Amino acid sequence: MQNLTTMEQFEQLKNEEKVVFKFTADWCPDCRFIDPFMGEVEEKFSDFTFVSVDRDQFIDLCGQLDIYGIPSFIAFENGIETGRFVSKDRKTKEEIESFLQTI
């Protein structure tokens, strides 16, 4: 999974790719919980580009997108939001896969 480095990169990916942004932080235990299985999720849903967004580096973006809990996921295709799985709750592999199947 690539890491978001700039707002320009966010805009480009959002507008040009079928992309899922995973909002996370190093200090978040629920974010670390999903790390071991995210590689399998990415393989299973390889039609998406997955991008990790560090909440602390992109706090303004999180505010714009109404992301106040992590880990959270937002999907875009051609600049249009196609789905969101946003909450402060721990997420299981099954819950993430179920979300991805709906978009």
The verdict on whether 28 is a catalytic residue reads: yes
User: What pLDDT sits at residue 64?
Assistant: 95
Count of domains observed in the chain: 1
User: What pLDDT sits at residue 87?
Assistant: 84
Residue 17 confidence class, pLDDT cut points 50, 70, 90:
confident
CATH number of the domain encompassing residue 26: 3.40.30.10
Of 31, 38, 51, 75, catalytic: 31
Question: Does the pLDDT value for residue 89 go beyond 90?
Answer: no
Q: What is the pTM of this model?
A: 0.94
Of 28, 53, 74, 75, catalytic: 28
The verdict on whether 31 is a catalytic residue reads: yes
What token pair was written down for 31? Answer: 């974010």
Question: Does the pLDDT value for residue 4 go beyond 90?
Answer: yes
26-66 confidence digits (pLDDT tens): 999 999 999 999 999 999 999 999 999 999 999 999 999 99
Q: What angle do CA 85, 61, 5 make, to 5 degrees?
A: 100
Q: What angle do CA 87, 89, 95 make, to 5 degrees?
A: 85
User: What pLDDT sits at residue 48?
Assistant: 96
